[in-house]
Amino acid sequence: MRSVPTRSTLASLALGALSGLVAVLALTLAQALLRLALGVSPPTELIGDRVAPLLGIERFFSLLELFGGYDQLKQFGVGSATLGQLALGVLLGAIYAGLVRRAAGDGDRRASRGPLLVLIGVVSALWVVSVVGLWPVLGTNYRGLAPGPARVLTLAATVVSSALFVVVLATSYRLLSSRSRASSGETTAEGSASRRAVVVGGLGAGLAIATGGVGTALFRRSTFSYDGLQLAGPGIEPITPSERFYVVTKNVIDPRVRAATWRLEIDGLVERPRSYDLDELRSLPSVRQETTMMCISNGVGGGLQSNAMWTGVPLTELLSTAGLQEGAVEVLVTAVDGYSDSVFIDKAMDPTTLVAYEMNGEALPERHGYPARILVPGMFGEKSVKWVTRVEVVERDVKGFYERQGWGPQFVVPTRARFTEPDLSLPLSVGTVTVLRGTAFAGDRGVTSVEVSTDDARTWEPAELEYSSSPLAWVLWRYDWLPQRAGDVPLLVRATDGNGDVQVGEARDIVPQGATGYHRVMARVQA
């Protein structure tokens, strides 16, 4: 028969739970401080990166829909992992208390080593499970350490914080639960016990406040305020100001790379592997190159695209200096946030593929990859790895972060055009010329012409290219339209690329290779 827990058993379990809470708060605070100061990613954050590529694209998209966006999904991910960690801490505290009570029941107070050993065993087992599970992403470091040292630092941090948890748990539980020695009088014993309770409670409250404070500081640095920033009309400029340039990041908190520790390694199948620091990279002959970028998940008419003037070193120069070996198939590009993507060797050796360190004449902004990013014209933004630290020449096709999720396998930007002005929520008038404007982009093939249809794709009229500068960049077009009848009029736009190919009119989903189809909008025309 199971014994009914006595009140004091429950009291012990409660004290254990409280000790567990104090200990897990100490652990969480340590993790948060390490994240803030040294860019060490805690398991609660790493787990998202470990799981995201495994999700499968459909599941990923249905989760995005379920949570209402990437930001919300990320918040749910870290939030629930953190809550899970807190709950586990509390549970371990209660279990520990139960074990200690059981051991004390056996009479020998010295036997309390047993529970401590069990606690150490359980925490070690959890540590092993998380290290094995998170192994592929342990090389992440948001201050910019190279993957090798980053993995060592992350491992050291998990060892230290696990040990901290055990020590704080055992100590607070001892403080909370120990009766004073037999020699002391009852009142003093209770007095000191409650004093200790106050100390532990105060410690817990202090830790909670400190954790909240550091958590708030981390939240302020999080990407929630800008991830998914779109560039919408009206008033789209030829060169997008860096602050308005669209942003996509997998991270909850983006890297803040220390230029002093940053290195770019060129290795793998090369004769002379080497690494560059930022000064060395900047001292190499550079090019200025206007290039438009677009995310694979940018729907027809969407604003996950922007155009900037980049400065950098052609990757082909670095690869040639290193000397490609026979059998090179791809370069695998890795970044400080654990993100990676691959580029076929021909594209990597194309003189327009850059290691860029300036955007619009200034050092890359942090959110766009400071101190350096890869820029792969003609391919979706996924390939343009930010915060790059390593370019490894490999002999096989390696899948990137999103490719493993199921995107691709083609990442070539299809030709597409869109309307950006006027604001068509406002009505237009019959007989009044309206200036329609928009962008058109054809990867690295250039846009040679843009046409507009005001009769649902029966006839097409040429638009004027107001801005057209480089095959790697978008064009800005305009079309002066004179509405001739009242009612709802569908407007369509299409572009032709530098190969003379008219854009695909057939609508294709965003998943898995990026959307195609005409941007079709409705104008409300009044008499």
Residue numbers at the binding site for ligand MTE (CB under 6 A): 245-251, 293, 295, 335, 337, 339, 368, 381-382, 384-387
Q: Are 420 and 232 in contact (CB under 8 A)?
A: yes
CB 380, min distance to Mo ion, A: 6
Q: Which residues contact 171 (CB under 8 A, 6 or more apart)?
A: none
- Token representation of residue 400: 């990137």
- 30's contact among Mo ion, ligand MTE, none, with CB below 5 to 8 A by partner kind, is none
Per DSSP (E only), the strands in 221-375 are 264-268, 274-276, 287-294, 305-314, 330-335, 340-344, 354-359, 362-363, 373-375
CB 421, min distance to ligand MTE, A: 22
**Closest CB to Mo ion among residues 144, 381:** 381
Task: Answer yes or no whether residue 514 interacts with Mo ion by CB under 5 A.
Answer: no
Name the residue with tokens 């050993």.
Answer: 117
Helix axes 70-105, 43-51, angle to 10 degrees: 130
Name the phi and psi angles at 497, rounded to 5.
Answer: -90, 180
Single-letter amino acid, residue 81: A
CB 293, min distance to Mo ion, A: 9
Per-residue CA distances from 429 to 96, 433, 454 (Å) = 76, 8, 15
Contact mark string toward Mo ion, 25..64, x via CB under 5 A: ----------------------------------------
End-to-end CA, the chain: 88
| Closest residue to bound ligand MTE by CB | 381
The residues pairing with 288 across neighbouring beta strands, listed in sequence order, are 311
- Token representation of residue 500: 């003379």
**Closest CB to ligand MTE among residues 383, 445:** 383
**Closest CB to ligand MTE among residues 78, 248:** 248
Count of Cβ atoms closer than 10 Å to residue 178 Cβ: 14
Q: Please, which of residues 377-396 interact with Mo ion by CB under 5 A?
A: 381
Of the ranges 53-61, 62-70, 373-381, 518-526, which one interacts with Mo ion (CB under 5 A)?
373-381
**Closest CB to Mo ion among residues 52, 90:** 52
- Token representation of residue 147: 């993957």
**Closest CB to ligand MTE among residues 16, 381:** 381
Q: Which residues contact 166 (CB under 8 A, 6 or more apart)?
A: 23, 116, 119, 120, 123
CB 294, min distance to ligand MTE, A: 7
- 308's contact among ligand MTE, Mo ion, none, with CB below 5 to 8 A by partner kind, is none
**Closest CB to Mo ion among residues 295, 319:** 295
CB 328, min distance to ligand MTE, A: 22
- 74's contact among ligand MTE, Mo ion, none, with CB below 5 to 8 A by partner kind, is none
Alpha carbons 341 and 409: distance in angstroms, whole number: 12
CB 294, min distance to Mo ion, A: 8
HEC letters along 36-52? HHHCCCCHHHHHHHHHH
**Closest CB to ligand MTE among residues 277, 366:** 366
Single-letter amino acid, residue 274: R
Please tell me whether residue 67 adopts helix, strand or coil conformation: helix
**Closest CB to ligand MTE among residues 286, 340:** 340
Residue-wise DSSP of 294-323? E-TT--TT---EEEEEEEEEEHHHHHHHH-
Single-letter amino acid, residue 390: R
**Closest CB to ligand MTE among residues 247, 349:** 247
CB 366, min distance to ligand MTE, A: 10
**Closest CB to ligand MTE among residues 286, 405:** 405
**Closest CB to ligand MTE among residues 9, 242:** 242
Single-letter amino acid, residue 478: R
Say which DSSP state 270 is in.
Answer: B
- 359's contact among ligand MTE, Mo ion, none, with CB below 5 to 8 A by partner kind, is none
Alpha carbons 30 and 259: distance in angstroms, whole number: 25
Of the ranges 63-71, 178-186, 267-275, 289-297, which one interacts with Mo ion (CB under 5 A)?
289-297
How many residues bind Mo ion (CB under 5 A)? The answer is: 3
CB 394, min distance to ligand MTE, A: 18
Of the ranges 10-18, 57-65, 240-248, 254-262, which one interacts with Mo ion (CB under 5 A)?
240-248
Cβ burial of 381 (10 Å; 0-12, 13-18, 19+) is buried
CA 58 from centre of chain? 19
Rg (CA), the chain: 29
**Closest CB to ligand MTE among residues 165, 339:** 339
- 90's contact among ligand MTE, Mo ion, none, with CB below 5 to 8 A by partner kind, is none
Name the phi and psi angles at 417, rounded to 5.
Answer: -125, 155
List the one residue from 295, 309, 343, 375 that touches Mo ion (CB under 5 A). Answer: 295
CB 250, min distance to ligand MTE, A: 4
CB 337, min distance to ligand MTE, A: 5
CB 445, min distance to Mo ion, A: 20
For the chain, give the number of residues: 527
List the one residue from 46, 134, 229, 248 that touches Mo ion (CB under 5 A). Answer: 248
CB 251, min distance to ligand MTE, A: 6
Contact positions toward Mo ion, by CB under 5 A?
Answer: 248, 295, 381
